[in-house]
Structure 1
Amino acid sequence: MSSHPSHPSSIKNIRLCQSCELPVEIQAIKRGHSAYCPRCNTQLYRSESYSISGNLAIAVTGLLLFFPSLYFDFISIRLVGVMIPGTLVDGVTALYNEGFPGLAFLTFYCAMITPFVMCSAIVIVHLSLRYRWYHPLRYALNILGPMRHWVMLDVFLVSIAVSCFKLQDYSDIYIGNALYSLILLQVLSVMLLSRISIRRYWEEWQIEHDLNLKIKDVHCRNCHLSQPESSRCLRCHHALYHRKPFSVQKTWALVIAACVAIIPANLIPISILLTNGQRLEDTIFSGVASLINSEMYGIAVIIFVASIVVPVAKVIGLIYLLLIIQFKKVNNHRFDMMIYRAIKWIGKWSMLDLFVISIMLTLVDRGQILNFTPGFGAVAFGIVVILTMLAAESIDPRLLWDSQPKSKQPSLKKES
């Protein structure tokens, strides 16, 4: 992949990088390899080594697995001689009945709605390409882009393991059939996320070469078409902009709100356990400490990293990026891009504690010797998770490159 020549906007085989807006010349690459931006190392395109129809087969299989994963028990416990099955619907219902509808929706959305919508959108896209339906294709692809960061089946599976370790001293644990469905659904979700290319689907609809675009001044972040300056994309009709409107202001607002919410999230009890007549209120810190006292060091480390380190690191990282953007102090551009990508990747793992709460609430039945209920700290923690993930989505990485002098361009480079 080579960097741009003297006047790149007038050359036909030029594409703008979606992360730093560098014009790069499109080159042929080997099958199964990818082309990366020589400046920010963002993947620009790849030479697909698989059939696009394979995505449809995976999506349909995922939809078939959705209902058994949702309604069958993924784990059961024997508590005081009583078998208590746990399903995902039971956990959501229990949260709602306990007066936490927001947490119930967030749990259900991240664990099951997102994979279901992702698989459904793939099916709609393939039907739209088959029958040339433009609007269903456009709406389905608009959903697929941002939806991928909210698919958290992997986090949910880890939370099941954490819950089992927490319950092993109180009850006998049995694996349910739905757990196998959830694991298989997670494997299929990973395959879909690695295979889905929004650009490729739009190329199936209308090939970029057929548009005969000789000037490319702006890049559409929706369908990834580089094109002449305009208010709307020629292919997907999405709004065009060189930078996200009010990106810095929106991100600051979300980060400040997250900083406010993170205080009660760590000070107010996130869970309440009633056992043998004792009421044990746990904050995130005290929960980690109790796991250490119980010699569950591995689980303690997982909870500590997911519930304390990750949210704080996300907030600090976002503040750092906002400050260097506002004061134009970007020095190591690639390092700052690594921070941006890390913030987007680690965001979903903060949901681990909330998933554990929903599972514990499902399995620890009311009226038994052992009783469990969420604390209001869980609400504040859920707000922190949502705000930091939205903040990571709202920041525009192209702002990191505005401070780089125009003459300071990368040399010729090829990536695969």
Structure 2
Amino acid sequence: MTPSTHEQDQATHGTRRRLRACPECDWVSALPPLSPGDKACCPRCGHTLAQRHFRPAERSLALALSSLMALAIALSFDFVRFEFSGIGNSIDLIETVTTMISFDHSLVAICVVLAIIVLPTLYLCGVIWLQIGLLQRNPLPASRQIARSLVHLHPWMMADVFVIGALVALIKVGGLADITIGISFWAFCFYAALLLLTMQSIDSDWLWFSLAPEPLAPADTQTGTTAAPQGLGGCTTCGLINRLDSRGHGRCRRCSEPLHDRLPNSLQRTWALVFAATVLYIPANVYPIMTTTYLGNSDSSNIIGGVVELWHGGSIPVAVIIFIASILVPVGKLIALVWLCLAARRGNTNHSFVRTRLYRVVEFIGRWSMVDIFVVSILVALIRAGALMSITPGPAALAFASVVIVTMLAAFTFDPRLLWQESPALEEPSHA
């Protein structure tokens, strides 16, 4: 994509107000005035640079408070109950974590509780803290540090994925036992929806401008070209353009986020994480992810076996969901990251726009593979009737959770700006 006439005019006049360097392609552009409902996108790659909301502080505060209230209800009542041959069991939300610990799967339990309760709670409390200060027109202490933290917490909150996992688990056992959905289940669904709305309501551009007025861009900053050749770098947290040192490193003047013209050793780190995820994916599929005991007979199943069993059992939609989330997404993500690394290494920019869109997909879909882990944690806690009917977690659970986390880290360490770099990425900085 080519820069607009507005950008060329901005470059001609050398304006230094409201400039942004796109975090995905490094293109420097000037933000136009924005009204509620408007958004500004990079003219080169289409990445959203800023999006304005109506009454952002009031909106985010109301959604965050509602989310915490829904979570409190979800933690206070029964989540779901099952009954089989006169034997029943009901669980609350926390038992999906504590039961995994009782089966010596503490690391998996930690991942579950962090993703659905702890990190979202910290995020929502941070939003409330920030918006109260902004409504009073007097930011509360540590507001800048909290605003920085919100950006880093965003990808690791998976309440919406847990809802899908819960639905899959209930469908999976619905034909074998009587299932009763508790108040906590519906409250958690509202909580997951409100959490998503809260994240979408954050107007980062307005937030940072309200916390700390935006200083002018460095002198001689030119729009309509990339930032790195000018010795500049855009902050991925608050958006401010900053001058970098001779090694291409620096720190944001507004939020203190570390800056790099290109992420140090981006390809090497991505290759290492892709290799680690590939190695972990083998035991994740070879070993059983859970063992089901039914009328005294035990049957261990791995991920692929579980998909086949669901398909033959008539639960075709559930089988498709598990196949996509647990097999297609991890394998596709690994293949896509390998292709992106090879493309960045060659330095061919002919299809940079398409590759950047692929990178966005890879970054977005990674967390959805946690569906299978959430299904296991729910079933293990719920189905506990001894030799009559019970489910225990298998060794593949930890391996598969590790695959999800490592592939997400691989996507984060890959620098999409390398896809727009005409010279081969062998020249990327190697300084830590």
Structure-2-length-normalised TM-score: 0.88
Matched, 1:26 2:9: no
Q: Cα 1:134–1:235, aligned 2, differ >3 Å: closer, same or farther?
A: farther
Find out whether 1:47 has 2:66 as its counterpart.
no
Which stretch of the first structure deviates more once superposed, 264-273 or 211-220? 211-220
- Equivalent position of 1:337 in the other structure: 356
Distance change >3 Å, CA 91–CA 249, structure 1 → 2: same
1:184 is matched with 190
Q: Distance in 2 between matches of 1:194 and 1:126?
A: 15
Partner AA of 1:397 in structure 2:
P
Flag the 1:296–1:332 CA change in 2: closer, same or farther, 3 A: same
Structure 2 distance, partners of 1:386, 1:221, is 21
Q: CA separation of 1:399/1:379 partners in 2, compared to 1, >3 Å: closer, same or farther?
A: same
Match of 1:410 in 2: none
Alignment partner of 2:209 out of 203, 207, 213 = 203
Q: Given residue 15 of structure 2, which amino acid in structure 1 is its aligned partner? A: I
Contact 1:275 1:369 in 2 (8 A): yes
Quote the residue 1:372 is aligned against.
Answer: 391
Q: CA deviation at 1:309?
A: 0.2
Tell me the residue number matched to 2:346. 327
Range that drifts further, 365-374 or 389-398: 365-374
Match in the other structure for 2:147: 141
The worse-fitting range, judged by mean Cα deviation, of 173-182 and 52-61 is 52-61
CA distance in 2, matches of 1:277, 1:115: 40
1:401 aligns to what?
A: 420
**Aligned residue among 332, 336, 348 for 1:313:** 332
CA distance in 2: counterparts of 1:134 and 1:181, whole angstroms: 31
Q: In the alignment, what sits opposite 1:118?
A: 123
Q: Aligned-pair distance for 1:135?
A: 5.8
Alignment of 1:265-414 (within 5 A): 265-403=284-422
SS in 2 for 1:273: strand
The within-5 A match list for 1:214-233 is 214-216=219-221, 217-229=232-244, 231-233=250-252
* Partner of residue 193, structure 1: 199
In structure 2, relative to structure 1, the CA distance for the partners of 1:237 and 1:8 (3 Å cut) is farther
Q: Does the Cα contact within 8 Å between 2:296 and 2:387 map onto a contact in 1?
A: no
Aligned residues: 404
Instruction: Identify the match of residue 64 of structure 1 among 61, 69, 84.
Output: 69
Report the CA distance between 1:29 and its aligned residue: 4.3
The structural deviation recorded for 1:213 is 5.1
How far residue 306 of structure 1 moved from its aligned partner, in angstroms, is: 0.5
Q: In the TM superposition, what whole-angstrom CA distance separates every residue of 1:327-371 from its partner, at most 9, and x where no partner exists?
A: 223421111011100011111110000000011011101525001
Q: 1:90-147 CA deviation, whole Å, 9 max, x = no partner?
A: 0100000101001001111112222212101102223454485576212211221122
Q: Which amino acid aligns with 1:229?
A: L
Matched, 1:12 2:16: yes
Q: Find runs of 4+ consecutive structure 1 residues off by over 6 angstroms.
A: none
Distance 2:140 2:26 in 1: 28
1:67, distance to aligned residue in structure 2 (A): 2.4
**Cα distance in 2 for residues equivalent to 1:297 and 1:261:** 28
Measure, in 2, the Cα distance between the counterparts of 1:268 and 1:331: 42
Give the 3-state SS of the residue equivalent to 2:56 in structure 1. coil
| One-letter amino acid of the structure 1 residue matched with residue 236 of structure 2 | R
Query: Distance between the aligned counterparts of 1:240 and 1:91, measured in 2?
Result: 40
Shift of 1:84: 1.2
- Amino acid corresponding to residue 362 of structure 1 in structure 2: A
Moved more, 283-292 or 192-201: 192-201
Task: Letter of the 1:299 partner, please give it.
Answer: V
Please give the alpha-carbon distance, in whole angstroms, between the structure 1 residues aligned to 2:335 and 2:129: 39
| 1:126–1:51 CA distance, 2 compared to 1 (3 A) | closer
- The residue number in structure 2 matching 1:412 is none
Runs of 5+ unmatched residues, structure 1: 406-416
The answer (yes or no) to whether the contact 2:16–2:217 under 8 Å persists in 1 is yes
Q: How does 1:123-134 map to 2 (within 5 A)?
A: 123-129=128-134, 130=136, 132=138
Residue type of the alignment partner of 1:45: A
State the AA in 2 paired with 1:116: T
Query: Aligned partners of 1:25 and 1:85: how far apart in 2?
Result: 56
Maintained 8 Å contact 1:215/1:228 = no
State the TM-score, normalized to the length of structure 1.
0.91
Q: Are the counterparts in 2 of residues 76 and 174 from structure 1 also a CA contact under 8 Å?
A: yes
**Secondary structure class of the residue paired with 1:319:** helix
Q: Is the 8 A contact 1:3 1:22 kept in 2?
A: no
1:249 aligns with 2:272: no
Stretches of structure 2 that go unaligned for 5 or more consecutive residues are: 222-231, 425-432
Seq. identity, %: 31
Q: Which moved more, 1:343-352 or 1:329-338?
A: 329-338
Code of the aligned partner of 1:190: L
Instruction: Determine the structure 1 residue equivalent to 2:227.
Output: none
Q: Which has the larger displacement, 36-45 or 46-55?
A: 46-55
